[in-house]
Amino acid sequence: MAVWARQVSRWCCLLNTARAVEFPRRLRSRGCTAQPCREFAPLAVLPAGKEVVLWRLQAYRHVSVGSCSPPDTAKDGSFSSPESNLPSVQQQQAKAETLPDLNAKILDEDWDDIPPSSALEVISEEEAVQIIGEPLLPIQSSTLRDYVDHSETLEKLVHLGVDLSQVEKRQKAGQLLLTLDFEKDVKKILLFLKDVGVEDNQLGPFLTKNPYILAEDLEALETRVAYLKSKKFGKSDIAQMVSRAPYLLLFSVERLDNRLGFFKNELGLSVKKTKDLVIRLPRLLTGKLEPVKENLQVCQIELGFQRNEIQQIVYKTPKILTASKKRLKQTFDYLHNIMGIPHHMLTRFPQVFNSKLLRIRERHMFLAFLGRAQYDPAQPTYISLDQLVSLPDEVFCTEIAKASMQDFENFLKTL
């Protein structure tokens, strides 16, 4: 009975020693430190009867797993007493505490890779103030200004001088710019325009008036320029035409050819004069033809000009083809019926039709007041229509009216 009690006592010591070794390991694997527990379990929890054998085997395995050597046996096969084995257990315990814990190392390495903060994590007010949120892209907007910070294309176009407030007024132009990539779509068109002759400081105003060219096929644009060169338009002429009529290169070769043929045949002009006409007013190639046809009929039928006179008027003053019909008739009525200017004189100085009717009326009435309203070239006090409308007020008063500027201003107050 004494032997059995000693064996049970020895196994209790071994079991608690193993637990004392294992517990610090678990704490260290969690980043904690603790002293080994040296308390023994109460005897009441130990198994009895046949279960003692199984319990002893489990305790043996547990001690082996805990890196403790099995107890030494006596020469006769019996176990030694707990007192004789205690120094050995303490040595094994010391060895176990100095062994590296692989699990603890892995966990320590995992701490280096800190997972991102959760959206539900509570933060302080100081941390919240430091958070900078990206502006959201508006789903719908009536102005391109809201998209500039989100679009590289819009940002660079603004730097070029493009007025987005004017672009967005053009039908579907804003949607077009938002779909374009600057490097892929826009850059090649800018290089093409510079090669044609559009100045750097004119690229912004050009694209403001015609943003649609950014969606055109580059090969088609080059073909249209090649057509103009084939018609003997010089490079400087093409650059001037493209700059003054931004929509010119949107027209196909066939349409450009038809326009040139129309003005040549309708006005009876030579090839050279037709080229000169469209170089000075290139929007004749891009504008509607109906107003042009109507103005030609007004000049011939209502104003009474002959065909050769219309040719001279149009060639010298191309804008008359796109002028308002109402304004054209009012100006002619005042010049011809009130001032008494004949058709051949109007044909000689057609630029008078580009002047404001109010300017013509004020100056004519001032000259009539002074008794100097003479428009007949045969008379010594003759005043040409060009001098009447083109000179500044100061020069007109001193050289034509032979009066002071103050006299002219006082006269205008009486009207």
pLDDT of residue 120: 63
Q: Report the alpha-carbon distance of residue 103 to residue 22 in Å, rounded.
A: 13
pLDDT at 346 over 90: yes
Q: What is the dihedral of CA 292, 298, 301, 306, to 10 degrees?
A: -70
The structural domains of the chain, with segments of one domain joined by +, span 143-215, 355-414
Per-residue pLDDT averaged across 262-283, rounded?
94
pLDDT at 329 over 90: yes
Per-residue pLDDT averaged across 175-203, rounded?
92
Residue 289 near residue 262 (C-beta atoms within 8 A): yes
Burial status of residue 363 (CB atoms within 10 A of its CB: 0-12, 13-18, 19 or more)? buried
| % residues pLDDT > 90 (the chain) | 56
pLDDT bracket for residue 168 (50, 70, 90): confident
Distance of CA 72 to the CA centre of its chain: 84
pLDDT bracket for residue 190 (50, 70, 90): very high
pLDDT at 88 over 60: no
* Of residues 317 and 16, more confidently modeled: 317
Q: Report the alpha-carbon distance of residue 123 to residue 117 in Å, rounded.
A: 10
Residues 375-405 pLDDT 10s: 999 988 899 999 999 999 999 999 999 999 9
Residues 104-128 pLDDT 10s: 444 444 444 555 555 566 777 777 6
| 3-class secondary-structure state, position 111 | coil
Per-residue pLDDT averaged across 252-260, rounded?
95
pLDDT of residue 153: 84
Q: Tell me what the pLDDT averaged over the chain comes to.
A: 77
Residue 275 near residue 232 (C-beta atoms within 8 A): yes
Per-residue pLDDT averaged across 292-297, rounded?
94
Tokens linked to 298: 């007004």
Whole-number Cα distances in Å, 100 to 20, 23, 27, 96: 16, 14, 13, 9
Whole-number Cα distances in Å, 413 to 299, 355, 403, 407, 408: 35, 22, 16, 10, 9
Report the length, in residues, of the chain: 415
